[in-house]
């Protein structure tokens, strides 16, 4: 399975980042505007077994997907695809304290590329490029929010 693992050090406490990431309503703010993330249904706060339905524009295609949160702790939020264009997708967010005012966020994503004709549109390389640019935007925005005191 192809995978991507990225991380960033953020100027905020780990517990504050966990609270922020645990509210699906915050996801559009930290997602690249080009993907046009729209939350269709989600819990107010993530919990194991809860589902989030959303729509994005990726690689020029509007796509709907449903993910289930399969592990939610004070330091981890993990979700898996249960319905969508790709055969498989999982996203693990690990939050580690560095000191009282800083933490590290690590995002681990694994996926399976689609088969058939879709593999020419949504190739592994193209998906990895989109993940990389999305994480760059996410980390820049989280850093700005943390520096402004909006994640505290």
The answer to whether residue 134 is domain-embedded is yes
Domain count of the fold of the chain: 1
What is the pLDDT at residue 152?
A: 85
Q: How many Cβ atoms from other residues are within 10 Å of residue 22's Cβ?
A: 19
pLDDT in tens, 123-141: 899 999 999 999 999 999 9
- Domain with 139, as residue range(s), is 3-147
Q: What is the CATH number of the domain that holds 119?
A: 3.30.530.20
Instruction: Say what the pTM is.
Output: 0.93
- Residue written as tokens 């269709």? 40
Instruction: Give CA angle at 92 (88, 93), nearest 5°.
Output: 150
Q: Does the residue 117 lie in any domain?
A: yes
Res 2: pLDDT:
95
Residue 22 falls within a domain, yes or no? yes
Whether 43 maps to a domain, the answer reads: yes
152 located within any domain: no
**Beta pairing, strands 51-58 & 76-83:** unpaired
Answer whether 109's CB lies under 8 Å from 131's CB. Answer: yes
Is the predicted pLDDT of residue 63 greater than 80, yes or no? yes
pLDDT in tens, 6-40: 999 999 999 999 999 999 999 999 999 999 999 99
């Amino acid at each position: 399975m192809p995978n991507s693992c990225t991380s960033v050090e953020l100027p905020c406490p780990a517990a504050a980042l966990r609270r922020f990431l645990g509210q699906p309503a915050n996801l559009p703010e930290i997602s690249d505007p080009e993907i046009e993330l729209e939350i269709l249904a989600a819990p107010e706060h993530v919990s194991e077994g809860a589902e989030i339905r959303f729509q994005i524009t990726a690689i020029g295609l509007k796509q709907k997907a449903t993910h289930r949160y399969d592990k939610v702790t004070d330091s981890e939020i993990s979700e898996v695809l249960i319905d969508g264009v790709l055969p498989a997708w999982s996203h693990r967010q690990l939050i580690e304290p560095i000191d009282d005012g800083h933490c590290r966020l690590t995002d681990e994503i694994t996926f399976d590329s689609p088969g058939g004709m879709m593999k020419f549109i949504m190739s592994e390389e193209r998906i990895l490029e989109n993940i990389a640019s999305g994480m760059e935007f996410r980390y820049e925005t989280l850093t700005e929010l943390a520096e402004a005191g909006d994640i505290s």
